[in-house]
């Protein structure tokens, strides 16, 4: 049955990927009508890597640039409230998030709650949040991301991002490869539960995974060409979520496994690393070529085994068993397979994750 309800899509207006693109921040702000004031959210490290320069560039353009340096590694609701207070006092035209994940998430959520546009300037490429409308905030009643809004612009400076340890980029690839199973889970939810599903959006997310798979050989430390592939794919994933209005195209059973690990493991690994490993096992459950997915991750140098991310085999099994409970409303292959400790262990062993 065709839905007659309006469907709301959010898209970035400008996406700039390339060498030295941070220097364009003043132009971007002016073009978008933010010629008076901006408020930047950054971390202590990212301030020296990019934040300080961004402030200078804006001031050079006579754009008032206030900023806050957030020390905490994770974005929490108390951070959001404290920063909102500062933003309210400065009344900027635009909020700019500069950082890996948490600072972008803070900028995204604070600006959404205050109804101010936001610009995303990632300093790493470790997950697909840089262009998406979703923010990961720790300490809430749920371990997954919440709706905020899409950035009005994304400025991805390859000269800056290439300096981050390669582990971050490999993690980003894991988050992209996850789309091989998240799109299958979304279709499954549509078939079984009549959940909203959009073929176009699903294809866009899947295309990102294929783009990375086809270019796995060139994604290696120091390769700007490889980094561009990953950045393009990450932006497409964010855009897919913005069009869908849900994280569905990009987050399925493999993400539930990663969220479960975040809760169960003493020292969880990076989000994309866990999602990549989850994708191998969920691909097995879906009956698709899990060996091919593992090979892509291995080619890139992303983790494929529990020992690669220093997580005990028992913890992997526990996370598999409890993954479906993380988000009961999100129907995935896990609802069909109903894993026990015995069957979960078998899956992890067959796929050589443990």
Residues that bind Zn ion (CB under 5 A): 175
Of 42 and 208, nearer to Zn ion (C-beta) is 208
What Cα–Cα distance (Å) separates residue 196 from each residue in 154, 170, 204, 223, 350? 28, 31, 16, 39, 33
Of 92 and 151, nearer to Zn ion (C-beta) is 151
Measured from the CB of residue 272, what is the shortest distance to Zn ion in angstroms? 6
Measured from the CB of residue 136, what is the shortest distance to Zn ion in angstroms? 9
Q: Which residue's beta carbon is nearest to the bound Zn ion?
A: 175
Query: How would DSSP label each residue in 254-277?
Result: HHHHHHHHHHH-SS---HHHHHHH
Overall residue count recorded for the chain in this entry: 354
Measured from the CB of residue 276, what is the shortest distance to Zn ion in angstroms? 10
Of 250 and 311, nearer to Zn ion (C-beta) is 250
Residues pairing with 67 in the sheet:
40
Distance CA 283, CA 185 (A): 10
Kindly report the number of other CB atoms within 10 A of residue 76's CB atom. 16
Of 226 and 238, nearer to Zn ion (C-beta) is 238
Measured from the CB of residue 105, what is the shortest distance to Zn ion in angstroms? 12
Of 54 and 130, nearer to Zn ion (C-beta) is 130
Give the helix/strand (H/E) hosting 281. helix 271-286
Measured from the CB of residue 234, what is the shortest distance to Zn ion in angstroms? 10
Give the three-class secondary structure for 123. Answer: coil
Measured from the CB of residue 326, what is the shortest distance to Zn ion in angstroms? 13
Measured from the CB of residue 24, what is the shortest distance to Zn ion in angstroms? 28
What Cα–Cα distance (Å) separates residue 248 from each residue in 9, 243, 273, 338? 14, 11, 19, 20
Measured from the CB of residue 343, what is the shortest distance to Zn ion in angstroms? 25
Distance CA 317, CA 306 (A): 10
Of 175 and 273, nearer to Zn ion (C-beta) is 175
Pick from 248, 229, 232, 250: nearest CA to 178: 250
Token pair recorded at residue 332: 């995935």
Q: How far is CA 196 from the centre of its chain?
A: 22
Query: How would DSSP label each residue in 197-208?
Result: --HHHHHHHHHH
* Residue found by looking up tokens 């490999």 in the block: 170
Of 12 and 172, nearer to Zn ion (C-beta) is 172
Of 46 and 171, nearer to Zn ion (C-beta) is 171
């Amino acid at each position: 049955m065709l839905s007659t309800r309006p469907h709301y899509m959010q898209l970035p207006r400008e996406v700039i990927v390339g060498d030295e693109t941070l220097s364009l921040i003043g132009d971007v702000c002016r073009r978008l009508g933010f010629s008076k004031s901006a408020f930047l959210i950054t971390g202590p490290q990212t301030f020296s890597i990019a934040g300080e320069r961004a402030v200078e560039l804006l001031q050079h353009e006579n754009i008032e640039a206030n900023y806050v340096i957030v020390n905490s590694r994770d974005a929490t609701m108390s951070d959001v409230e404290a920063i909102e207070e500062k933003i309210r006092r400065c009344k900027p035209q635009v909020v700019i998030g500069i950082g890996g994940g948490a600072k972008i998430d803070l900028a995204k959520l604070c600006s959404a709650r205050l109804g101010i546009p936001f610009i995303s300037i990632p300093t790493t490429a470790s997950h697909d949040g840089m262009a998406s409308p979703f923010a990961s905030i720790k300490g809430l009643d749920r371990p997954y991301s919440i709706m905020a809004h899409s950035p009005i612009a994304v400025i991805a400076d390859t000269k800056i991002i290439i300096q981050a340890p390669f582990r971050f980029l490999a993690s980003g690839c894991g988050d992209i490869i996850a789309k091989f199973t998240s799109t299958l889970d979304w279709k499954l939810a549509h078939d079984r539960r009549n959940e909203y599903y959009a073929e176009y959006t699903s294809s866009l997310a899947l295309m990102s995974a294929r783009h990375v798979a086809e270019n796995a050989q060139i994604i290696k430390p120091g390769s700007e060409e490889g980094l561009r592939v990953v950045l393009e794919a990450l932006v497409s994933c964010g855009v897919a979520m913005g069009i869908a209005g849900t994280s569905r195209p990009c987050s399925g059973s493999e993400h539930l496994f990663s969220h479960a690990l975040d809760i169960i493991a003493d020292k969880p690994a990076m989000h994309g690393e866990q999602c990549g490993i989850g994708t191998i096992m969920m691909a097995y459950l879906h009956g698709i070529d899990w060996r091919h997915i593992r090979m892509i991750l291995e080619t890139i140098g992303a983790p494929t085994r529990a020992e690669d991310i220093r997580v005990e085999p028992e913890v992997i099994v526990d996370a598999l068993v409890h993954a479906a409970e993380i988000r009961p409303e999100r129907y995935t292959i896990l609802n069909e397979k109903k894993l026990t400790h015995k069957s979960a262990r078998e899956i992890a062993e067959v796929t050589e994750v443990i």
